[in-house]
Structures are given as C-alpha cells and as structure tokens.
Amino acid sequence: MSRTRRIRIAVSAAVTVASVLSATPALAAAPAQAETQAEGRGRGPGLKNCTQTACHFDVAPGTYDVRVLLGGDTAASTGIAAETRRTLLPETATAAGERVARSFTVNVRTPEGEPTGPAGTAGLDLVLGGTAPALADIRVTPARHARQIFLVGDSTVCDQPGDPYSGWGQQLPQYLRKGLSVANYADSGESTVSYLANPALFATVQPLIRQGDLVLIQLAHNDKQTDEPTYRANLETLVAGVRDKGGRPVLVTPIVRRWFNADGTLNNGTALLVNGLGVDHPAVTRSVAETHDVPLIDLTAQTKALVESLGVEGSKALYLYNEKRDNTHTSVRGATAYADLVRDELIAQRLVPKGLMR
C-alpha cells in the first residue's frame, strides 16, 4: 500500500475514533457479561476495574503491557485511548461472536500529560471508544523488557489535554506494538532555550533514558527570538545529553505552518519556520544532524509536501483552521497523518524494528 493511501486511511479512521473518544462512547458490554464472553480465557484482573466506558488500574508510574480481548455477541468496533487523550489502539472492527486480541505497551507517569501541566489521575486510565465498543477481557502487567521512544518537543508534539487539539506525539502510540512505548515529554510553548532551562523538562527526561532508547527532538516553533549560534548550540547540547545516557538522539525538523503563497506553495518564512532573525530552523537542524552523525526525520519537507498536495482548502482539516483559525496546531486528523510520517521514517531508517510497528 502506498504511503499516501495509508495516510488517507489512517486520517479517515482518526476522525471516527476521535469523534467518539471525545464524546461519551457507545455502551460496551457490561463487565459481568464481558467476563462470560471471554470464553474460558480467564477472568483476569482487569474487568473488575472497568465500567461500560473506561478502565482504571491503581498502578505506580512506570511502563505496562496491556492485553485486550475485543468483541461481543454483536458486531463491534472498538478504539482505546489512555491517560491524556493518547491514542493507543485505532478503531478495530469485530464480527458478531468474534474475539480479537490486541496488545500494546503504555507509559504511566506524573504528570500524565504535559510535563508542566496538571498531575492528572494517579494510575492508568483507559477510555473505550469506537462506533460500537466491546471489551471482552483485559490484563495489565508490568513491562519487563520494553523499549521507549522519548519525545522532546513543543505544542505540535505534546499530549494536548483538550479537544480539538492534538500533537503528533499523542497519536504515535497507535502505531506501536507491545514492547515499545512512547514517553511524551513535549510541552506547550517550549523553545530550545526553555526546554534546557526548566528543571521539569530535559533535566527530568535525561535521567530516565536507558541504553538504546530513542529520543526524538523537535523544537523550533517557539525559538522566534533565538539566534542561530544559540539554536545550534542548544540542539547540540540536547544531542550530547541523550548520548551521555546511552540513548539514541533523532533530530526532527518542525512541522510546517499552514501559510500559503498566492501560487499555492507554502511561504518561505512563517510556514517553513524561518524566524524574525533570519534563522532557518529546519536548515540548522539538518546541519547539526549531519555534523554530529545524528539520524534526521525531515518532517518539514514531508509535511510541506503533504500540505501543498492537499491545497489551500484540503489542508485546513489537518490544522485547527476551521475551529480556531489556527494554522500552527493540528487537529486529530493532522496529528495522525504526521505521526504516520514519523512511523514511516522510524521503519525506513531502521531506528525501530518493523515488527514493533503497526
């Protein structure tokens, strides 16, 4: 399947899932009924922790494997989100009487969303969504050998707390299988300067990095007054800090802003992240990646191509233009499409084994 077709399918599915997860989900099977539907696979510890629309597990911060058995006596379609609106499982259809097992790994932390945001609810919270959700069984266990992808970024990456906003890091977990989780430490409003200065940010992330963990770094949108030497030095500091802990830094150029020229192309300033001081953030990021032999995901180039291919009208749905006249922050549709681009690069550059990605 071509990348363009897969993105369109993913985007279409994201609209359906998001519209349900952001509202009250349709009724799932009641817990007692769901236990019966498990058909001898064991009651497990999970269903007693679930209502018709959600599950809560009193677990400490850490990384957990979740195994769900989806389906019921009638046709169903179930999606699962966790914590602060993270999409963990895209909507999955089951025929009447069918049971489908799915597994994923989830990061539980405090605060559960943005690092400088509210603490959120202790433990692990899962929300059942989809057009007709049905949960037959669930089991949550500590993840003993999971790998992590840490995200360092701004509001276009972070776990956004409320509709209609969504960062691409919030949608990335749905593409990961059991054994790989996303720890999203992106935070709204952060620049390279503030991310290094705030003790709740890189100083908190760095000690958590283990040997071989990936750390994706996308910071630029808020570096409006950062000069080029400082911006370059800050990226180099982040790269060195990740490597000091045995992690694998990956530089990500920023997603484009949706600002068009009259000829239907994106403008070379605001849209392509050239700040008021003339600093071309994507170009500097590419240069740092080359100089220090760091893998690069050129999300600027890829999102530019996608936005321009959709045109002035078609690209509005990727951003919050229709809701907020916002051409910087993405909708669930846009965040999902951009997360799909990141997924492709993680596989293509062999940064993550293909078997750990959906």
pLDDT, position 21: 38
What pLDDT is stored for residue 52 in this prediction? Answer: 85
The whole-number pLDDT of residue 22 equals 34
Average model confidence (pLDDT) across the chain: 89
Summarised one tens digit per residue, pLDDT across range 24-67 is 233 233 333 333 233 333 344 568 999 889 999 999 999 999 99
Do the Cβ atoms of 112 and 83 come closer than 8 Å? Answer: yes
Tokens of 119: 């603490």
What is the pLDDT averaged over residues 263-285?
95
Q: Helix/strand/coil (H, E, C) string of 55-106?
A: EEECCCCEEEEEEEEECCCCCEEEEEEECCCEEEEEEEEECCCCCEEEEEEE
pLDDT at 7: 53
Are 1-144 and 145-358 the same fold in CATH? no
For 77-136, the pLDDT digits (tens) are 999 999 999 999 999 999 999 999 999 999 999 999 999 999 999 999 999 999 999 999
Residues contacting 69, CB < 8 A, separation 6+: 38, 41, 99, 100, 101, 135, 136, 137, 138
Once rounded to an integer, what is the mean pLDDT over residues 164-182? 96
pLDDT at position 19 is: 36
**All structural domains of the chain with their residue ranges:** 1-144, 145-358
Report the alpha-carbon distance of residue 184 to residue 215 in Å, rounded.
Answer: 10
Whether the predicted pLDDT of 14 surpasses 60: no
Q: Please answer whether residues 275 and 225 qualify as being in contact, where contact means their C-beta atoms are separated by less than 8 angstroms.
A: yes
Residue with the two structure tokens 């000091």 = 244
Is the pLDDT higher at 13 or at 20? 13
pLDDT of 13 strictly over 90:
no
Candidates 90, 71, 296, 79; CA nearest to 175 is 90
3-state class (DSSP) for residue 274:
strand
Pick the CATH number of 145-358 from 3.40.50.10860, 3.60.20.10, 3.40.50.1110, 3.40.630.40: 3.40.50.1110
**CA–CA dist 183, 338 (Å, integer):** 17
pLDDT tier for residue 3 given thresholds of 50, 70 and 90: low
CATH architecture of 1-144: Sandwich (2.60)
Q: Please give the share of the chain, as a percent, with pLDDT higher than 70.
A: 87
pLDDT tens by residue, 226-252: 999 999 999 999 999 999 999 999 999
CA distance 351 to 330: 25
